[in-house]
Amino acid sequence: MKTVRIAVFGLNHGFKFASDALKLPGVELIAVAGDNELSKKRAKELNVPLYKNYKDLVNECSLDGAIITLPNRLHKEAVEVCAKKGVHVLVEKPIASTIEEGEDIIRQCAQSNVKLMVGHHRRFSSKVAKLKEIISSGLLGEIVGVNMLYVLAKDRSYFAESWRLVQGGGPLLINGIHDIDTLRFVTGLNIESVYAAARNSIRKNQVEDSASILLETRGGATVNFFISDGVPSPWSYDCNLRENPKFYHYDENCFYFFGTKGSLSFPSLKMYSYEEENYGWEHKLIEEKFSVEDNDPMTAELVHFVEVLRGESEPVVTGEDGLETLKVINAIKESAAREQKIYLYK
Ligand SMILES: NC(=O)c1ccc[n+]([C@@H]2O[C@H](COP(=O)([O-])OP(=O)(O)OC[C@H]3O[C@@H](n4cnc5c(N)ncnc54)[C@H](O)[C@@H]3O)[C@@H](O)[C@H]2O)c1
């Protein structure tokens, strides 16, 4: 098996990738990059060389791949530096700060013939994969509607970072982007228009702290999505899936899918339907529960990136996927700002 040489840029969210990389057979973590005190401490823990500037790392090290977990504003520049050196990249979500930068990233990687993967790690969740499998099997019939919640309270220290109080730091771009990507992935629905009403009434910061969103999709299905990061509540993907130990777990659901033949809650994976001869509200719904073993999606994502580096797989989350999801989030923000329905395709 070919050993692949990788580096991780950014040691906050990136620390998990770096720690996992050390445990994976056939993977050599060559170096890490970070420019603050926490990075120094973590690089020491990992026992790998630390570069203050990721550009010096790329210039001095021979790499197959880089994992870019830098602040969003640096994604485009970092991908370009890697692509020019022929280094394949896994760049965190959102692919970039703007659509134009996302397009540039895709173009640059194609021109340089390097593989580009975007860090929508939920696509590697075993539960999400099962959800996609159930929906794709047609058991629910045609999807008519979806109801999604991402509602929780972030702890107070979270807001000590000033960038989290201004545009780009709100729950839509940080958290909601995962729910939108999951929706697109599991249903395959194409979102055609959005209408959103956003508020900052809880914390009064520049950025939203809650939003109600209505999505219309090609084919007709409609989606409701309520998001808030300032409300005590047990209903959110992060608190309901046990995939990240940082979040207190609640055995609750955050998504509901409604089809012409049945309905399904997630992550409980309970499906409700009628037998044809006992159809309708006078009858008891048939309840069926699906199950699947939990996994660690971020580790699975890293394993997949290593397969991509070995040439055994093509990225399952492409630059185009990352860009499409970002377009929906941007349309939601634009709709809220202009108090208008926004069409994604003319
Ligand atoms: N997939 C997910 O669930 C998830 C979760 C959290 C964050 N993220 C994404 O990961 C990225 C990073 O987020 P974060 O919360 O870790 O950010 P952060 O600001 O907390 O950390 C950024 C890291 O980058 C380093 N850094 C900054 N500039 C640098 C430079 N020029 N050279 C070298 N190192 C530099 C910092 O030292 C730090 O280690 C963002 O794109 C974010 O959206 C994804």
Query: What DSSP letter does each residue of 243-308 carry, written as one string?
Result: S-TTSPP-----EEEEESSEEEEETTTEEEE--GGG-STTSPPEEEE-------HHHHHHHHHHHH
Distance 37 CA to ligand 1 centre (A): 14
pLDDT at site 160:
85
Number of compact structural domains in the chain:
2
Residue pLDDT, tens place only, 247-262: 999 999 999 999 999 9
Q: Under a CB-based contact definition with an 8 Å cutoff, are residues 227 and 328 in contact?
A: no
Q: Look at residue 176 and tell me if it is in a domain.
A: yes
- What pTM was computed for the model? 0.96
311 within some domain:
no
Cis bond before residue 267 (omega within 30° of 0): yes
Residue 169's pLDDT is what? Answer: 83
* Whether 241 contacts 127, CB under 8 Å: yes
Cα 11 to averaged position of ligand 1 atoms, centre (Å): 7
Count how many Cα atoms sit within 13 Å of the Cα of residue 50 in the half-sphere of its side chain.
18
The pLDDT value given to residue 161: 81
The pLDDT of residue 274 is 98
CATH number at residue 147: 3.30.360.10
Please check whether residues 17 and 132 belong to one and the same domain.
Answer: no
Please tell me the predicted confidence (pLDDT) of residue 1: 75
Dihedral angle, C-alpha 16, 246, 117, 346, nearest 10 °: -160
CA-proximal residue: ligand 1, atom 11 (nearest): 69
Residue nearest to atom 21 of ligand 1 (CA): 12
Judgement on whether residues 107 and 128 belong to the same structural domain of the protein: no
Range of the domain at 174: 123-296+327-343
For ligand 1, atom 15, which residue shows the shortest CA distance?
13
- The last residue of one of the domains, among 88, 114, 140, is 114
Percent of the chain with pLDDT over 70: 100
CA-CA distance, 262 to 272, in Å (whole number)? 5
Instruction: List the chain residues with pLDDT less than 50.
Output: none
What's residue 163's pLDDT?
82
Q: Is residue 191 part of a domain?
A: yes
